[in-house]
Amino acid sequence: MAELEMQEYEQLNRNKETTYDVIKVDKGTIEMNHLVIQSWSQFFKNVLLILIVSLFSAGVVSIVTYFTICAQLEQKLADIDRKLAKIEKKNMTKLQETDNKENTYLDNNTMCYNGKSWQRLNDSKSCVCAAGFLGKQCEYSDGKDTSFMVVFHEGVRSPMPTILVASESTARLSVLYFNNNTNQSITIDKNNTEYILSTSVLPSDGIHMVGVEIHSDVKINVYGFLNGDRGSEGYLSMPMKFASTKYIIPTLTAFTAGYGFKNLLALLPIYQNTAVRTLITASKPVFVVSGNQCNYAVQLQISKGGCQPFIELILPTDQLDNIFITPHISTRLNNTVRIQTANSTKLNVKFGNRNISKTLKAREYWDFYYNTTSFIFASNDILVMSYPHGLEGGKGDPFMMTIPGVNQYLYEYDFAVPTGFDSFISITVKRNSIDGVLLDGEFPNITSVLNISEGRIHYSTFSVPISDGAHHIEHRGKVRFGLWVYGNRFYDVYGYPAGLAYKIYH
Ligand SMILES: *[C@@H]1O[C@H](CO)[C@@H](O)[C@H](O)[C@H]1NC(C)=O
Ligand SMILES: *[C@@H]1O[C@H](CO)[C@@H](O)[C@H](O)[C@H]1NC(C)=O
Ligand SMILES: *[C@@H]1O[C@H](CO)[C@@H](O)[C@H](O)[C@H]1NC(C)=O
Ligand SMILES: *[C@@H]1O[C@H](CO)[C@@H](O)[C@H](O)[C@H]1NC(C)=O
Ligand SMILES: *[C@@H]1O[C@H](CO)[C@@H](O)[C@H](O)[C@H]1NC(C)=O
Ligand SMILES: *[C@@H]1O[C@H](CO)[C@@H](O)[C@H](O)[C@H]1NC(C)=O
Ligand SMILES: *[C@@H]1O[C@H](CO)[C@@H](O)[C@H](O)[C@H]1NC(C)=O
Ligand SMILES: *[C@@H]1O[C@H](CO)[C@@H](O)[C@H](O)[C@H]1NC(C)=O
Ligand SMILES: *[C@@H]1O[C@H](CO)[C@@H](O)[C@H](O)[C@H]1NC(C)=O
Ligand SMILES: *[C@@H]1O[C@H](CO)[C@@H](O)[C@H](O)[C@H]1NC(C)=O
Ligand SMILES: *[C@@H]1O[C@H](CO)[C@@H](O)[C@H](O)[C@H]1NC(C)=O
Ligand SMILES: *[C@@H]1O[C@H](CO)[C@@H](O)[C@H](O)[C@H]1NC(C)=O
């Protein structure tokens, strides 16, 4: 139960010197610092914090379970648990609702989001969504936007920090470096999707303000990418406006070796060996990048290949979902999946010939291993991460990838594939809609489809090879599908979701 409450940002900023806000730990073993470097406030009017959560090792520090701040919150948590007990009574009917979502009859009182505000539906039969919005009430954004932030945790073997940008048209970008508050202008188009950042964006031991903010004149998708010798990884960057205040950190225990034991601190180190995962709440919107310096996903004695930095931008608890199909990953059938709850949740998980029902408490996690595909249904929204295992002979290392839920699928994606890897995309789609997927205007060659069903829901998942650079994929029937991008290289790998639908809150 490690709960960190961030202080009001400006308070930390009052004096011009480097300031530490210390969260004391009652066992007296560790002090956790988070910090604001002088003149931070000059950088942002509407401040966004960046947390880089670095999980390096299980063995370095003695384990701290209670922070002083946590004690004060216990009563609140107990109240929430009581409410949850009631919520849990609701059963699997939500699944059916989702299946019918697009066809459900809407009454006159339904609210539609028009891209700027909510309006009553009145006489029409369905909400008409503005460009970039989707869902029955247009309550989801497609995630293409003009403002992003990209940060990394420290990599190994001097990686090149990179951004990958997917844009339908030529985009002029201002890249604002935090280290000197200076913009650099770059142009991105379909032939030019990769931009190598200065290594000044990489944190090293200690606490740093490093990273970039990206502003574009047209809507784009951005991926943060560490291009390293045997240590690459990438993540889908979230638009700045979806930064949020509550996160649960899902990352696996680091199965570390050698340099993995170095205790590196980025902005905020978090050690979590307890069954209940760390909750981060912040008084201002923040992003959380999570990863390891070096992880194998499985114990060393059964690992194949090398270790990897496992970077993902963690989705906040207000951008989670409750139905998931884990994708078929080309070359990697062996896979560990971590389910992370925010609130107490009933789970129904299906893979192979197994059908498992479980109840997890708030902030608990559960891992399962499978080698086909899996179906996950939860009574509350959860975070699902996939950790495809490494391959023998250096054909590809393990990695970490966020699994967006079925309600977060898009029906069209613009995405970017990094150069230098044997890359693939994976798709999950309703079984009767496989034929509608158009990749760069053509029907992809689909082989080895995995099918999975639960009740009336039938899904298929498959993967196809993909070339470097910019791509566009869409469903000609406007059916929503899940899309992931990943690739192998000698003792190397990367992987990230290509995009996802974000819930609009206003
Ligand atoms: C589940 O929902 C259905 C339909 O609303 C209801 O008839 C049934 O009693 C519910 N079951 C439980 C265990 O709550
Ligand atoms: C519904 O009616 C209200 C009041 O006349 C109007 O302001 C609103 O724009 C209408 N909504 C739509 C979606 O047309
Ligand atoms: C919606 O409003 C229109 C116009 O006021 C009315 O004719 C229609 O019956 C209403 N429909 C429903 C389902 O209430
Ligand atoms: C950097 O560029 C952005 C977007 O063009 C602009 O809003 C911002 O003021 C610039 N910052 C500096 C320090 O020039
Ligand atoms: C990309 O390259 C192709 C082939 O060289 C060229 O035809 C096309 O105009 C280029 N596109 C852009 C946006 O520069
Ligand atoms: C600001 O920092 C970036 C990255 O370190 C560097 O590339 C750029 O030249 C610097 N700009 C100025 C004006 O110092
Ligand atoms: C998957 O794991 C099993 C059991 O550990 C192993 O025998 C098999 O070789 C693995 N398959 C791949 C493709 O790594
Ligand atoms: C799996 O379990 C759920 C709930 O226990 C049940 O509704 C469903 O029918 C089961 N499916 C199969 C294939 O056994
Ligand atoms: C998949 O996993 C099952 C049980 O975990 C095992 O029996 C089977 O051999 C595995 N298949 C492959 C191809 O690794
Ligand atoms: C968890 O429970 C709280 C309190 O009921 C609620 O506000 C929040 O939306 C829930 N979050 C998830 C992910 O279920
Ligand atoms: C599909 O496969 C055929 C034959 O193997 C090949 O000619 C064609 O180019 C492939 N299409 C795509 C989109 O890869
Ligand atoms: C999966 O579903 C697809 C589409 O219906 C079908 O073509 C394929 O044969 C199925 N595969 C298996 C292994 O059942």
Q: Does the C-beta of 442 come closer than 6 Å to ligand 3?
A: no
| Among protein residues, the one whose CA lies closest to atom 3 of ligand 5 | 191
**What is residue 93's predicted lDDT score, i.e. its pLDDT?**
32
Which of the two residues, 480 and 73, has the higher pLDDT score?
A: 480
Atom of ligand 12 nearest to the CA of 434: 4
Measure 181 CA to ligand 4 centroid, in angstroms: 9
What are 439-443's contacts with CB under 8 Å, separation 24+?
439/464, 439/466, 439/471, 439/472, 439/473, 440/471, 440/472, 440/473, 441/472
Give mean pLDDT, residues 201-205: 75
Mean pLDDT of the chain: 77
Q: Return the HEC string of 62-115.
A: CCCCCEHHHHHHHHHHHHHHHHHHHHCCCCCHHHHHHHCHHHCCCCCCCEEECC
Across 97-132, b (16+ Cβ under 10 Å) vs e yields ebbeeeeeeeeeebebbeeeeeeebeeeebbebeee
| Among protein residues, the one whose CA lies closest to atom 2 of ligand 4 | 174
pLDDT tens-digit map of 136-195: 899 999 999 999 999 887 666 778 999 999 999 999 999 999 888 999 999 999 999 999
Q: How far apart are CA 365 and CA 384, in angstroms?
A: 10
Q: What is the percentage of the chain residues whose pLDDT exceeds 70?
A: 72
> Within 6 Å (CB) of ligand 10, which residues are found?
80, 83, 317, 320, 342-343, 380-381
Residue 300's φ and ψ, nearest 5 degrees, are -50, -40
| Among protein residues, the one whose CA lies closest to atom 1 of ligand 1 | 91
CA dihedral 48, 54, 60, 65 (to 10 degrees): 50
Place of tokens 């989707």: 134
Atom of ligand 5 nearest to the CA of 190: 13
**What is residue 155's predicted lDDT score, i.e. its pLDDT?**
65
Atom of ligand 8 nearest to the CA of 357: 5
Q: How far apart are CA 267 and CA 270, in angstroms?
A: 10
pLDDT tens-digit map of 447-464: 889 999 988 889 999 999
| pLDDT exceeds 90 at position 495 | yes
Q: Which of 58-72, 165-179, 246-260, 485-499 has the lowest mean pLDDT?
A: 58-72
pLDDT tens-digit map of 226-254: 998 899 999 999 999 998 888 888 777 76
Contact present, 8 and 41 (Cβ < 8 Å): no
- Structure-token pair, residue 43: 């950088």
Atom of ligand 6 nearest to the CA of 180: 1
Q: Does the C-beta of 189 come closer than 6 Å to ligand 5?
A: yes
> Within 6 Å (CB) of ligand 9, which residues are found?
333, 371
- Structure-token pair, residue 217: 């004149």
Give mean pLDDT, residues 371-383: 95
Measure 368 CA to ligand 9 centroid, in angstroms: 13
Measure 118 CA to ligand 2 centroid, in angstroms: 10
Q: Across-strand partners of 172?
A: 187
Ligand nearest to the CA of 137: 2
342: confidence class by pLDDT, cuts 50, 70, 90: very high
Ligand nearest to the CA of 466: 11
272: confidence class by pLDDT, cuts 50, 70, 90: very low
Q: Which of 13-27, 240-254, 326-340, 449-463 has the lowest mean pLDDT?
A: 13-27
pTM across the whole model: 0.81
Q: How far apart are CA 505 and CA 310, in angstroms?
A: 30
| pLDDT exceeds 90 at position 51 | no
- Structure-token pair, residue 252: 């696996």
Ligand nearest to the CA of 452: 12
Q: Does the C-beta of 391 come closer than 6 Å to ligand 7?
A: yes
pLDDT tens-digit map of 471-481: 999 999 999 99
Q: How far apart are CA 401 and CA 397, in angstroms?
A: 13
206: confidence class by pLDDT, cuts 50, 70, 90: low
The candidate with the shortest Cα–Cα distance to 463, out of 480, 479, 449, is 449
pLDDT tens-digit map of 379-425: 999 999 999 999 999 999 999 999 999 999 999 999 999 999 999 99
Which of the two residues, 485 and 44, has the higher pLDDT score?
A: 485
| pLDDT exceeds 70 at position 275 | no
